[in-house]
Structure 1
């Protein structure tokens, strides 16, 4: 079933046995020190038969870490923890990229010793996020707090962010990853610079779209100095307005991003552009055609796909592969289920971010 979805493909310099991509899913199973655990190795190895696993978002710098239980990739202990994970995935026959992440303005001061987070402009994100646990925390959901107005970044702040991506890319190689995906989506720091609503700067990093994309260009450059560009991906969401995002011309933004990606010859662009409302809204004006016009590399599509729609998009040239996020929570055997058109199990979202192995590694394979 679905012959296009399950056909092999070369993306960058990586041969994939199928075009099912495991999308990054923040599951908050690292320890308080942000070091990946053996439980995470088990979780990812269970899902290693997909074409490519993209890790959960992984912080490149303590200033960009604002999610309790999320992993980092900025010290030797984190590198060693991730090595356990990548070894398990490789032993199971899989391939895995590290998604490199900095949250920017979406970090609460609670994670920064009371200091303000950083952002391109002094504009708070919309909504709220999980705060660290209180001293009497015994498990379960964490308290929620609203985002705060960040400190507008100066050149030293920008230089630190760029350098942290380069260092994390070097650490990803040491940790045994097959490549890296730069997280430029979902309202985090790169996206904050890219989109016009959150970037009101008047210097060389603000204003016209080419300036707003300058940080992205600099980050790709330092990452490409550590990782073969054929093993680098970039995730983007130009049409998303979640968390107070928004751009005056998402199509032009996508085209600019595609031009930069093409200049460096990176392996793929991972486009979040839902085909139906779900975790994100379906865009009123999709940008896939603008991206394709400026970028000749592989495009991974993401957003409310099932096996049939993914196969159709690939057949029509609207994607080279498709990533699946939430279906992977309760279906470690998602590839087999989709290939055989078997029903998918439903996830218990009470355990999406808490519960240890419960709701994480204990979902069974299809039993017929």
Structure 2
């Protein structure tokens, strides 16, 4: 990952990011950091880059031309129009899904404003993303840029020594992380929960999930509105089920697998509510008829339950009828993926799906994606 930061204060960026984990990552070549001083592209001998705003008002505005020249100097090095983030309180608030999606880029340009902001004409020409780190105003974009670099770099391979440190982050499931404990077992008469000393990994994982739910309810109850228990239903003997499970793993730490190849699963009543999410990939080949495929979902009943429908063999008239049947059974289609995507394509689909769900937009929008287009 290469970061290119356009700023009036490059020394602020350099001092802030060359320490601790990020400093080590830069030294080891996992990430690179290049700062470009916008003042170097000023057209006057005083290196001034700001002027009074048209229409009057307090403060100064950064001029378009120096910003554009600084941007051009970076874009020419990269060799293409780069993804360019403007740090502004007017942008989308940075979240975990955005962080992971940005980490897929090879180059990121971060534009830091100052004063009352930057001439809007140059923003329209070069900016691809408007991102905020919160609903408050800072003196400039440098602190926001450093926050973004820190968060994104955690997902760059090699930056963290323990891959799980980024794989299962707090907020991945729209839940806060569970409490952590270390030695001693008793401190100030407070004991470590017994289950964590048991060595039973299944019980420990269940405790952590429950603890995450409790902590979220106490500290961030707003997150629970769009937090889901995610289940994946497919025939685990079929080769194409692997990418259904990959999607489940990319969506949640606490997923539930339902093997449609087992008669027990097909015969039992599988009930879901509006805080469940079902990822469904129906077994069978394109030659199998509607009746054969519908047998797999007869036992599934929802209650305005979000549904992700995976169609590896394409979306035919039969799949359309099955989709209608699922909606009659109480499911609400939020996403459909047709074909078998590449690993990168599946990851992008996962990010888009998480963004749709956690923002609450799933109530009014759908993702209808083809593997070829991802």
TM-score, normalising length: structure 2: 0.31
Structure of greater Rg: 2
Higher relative contact order (CA 8 A, sep 6+): 1
TM-score, normalising length: structure 1: 0.32
Whose helix proportion is higher, 1 or 2? 2
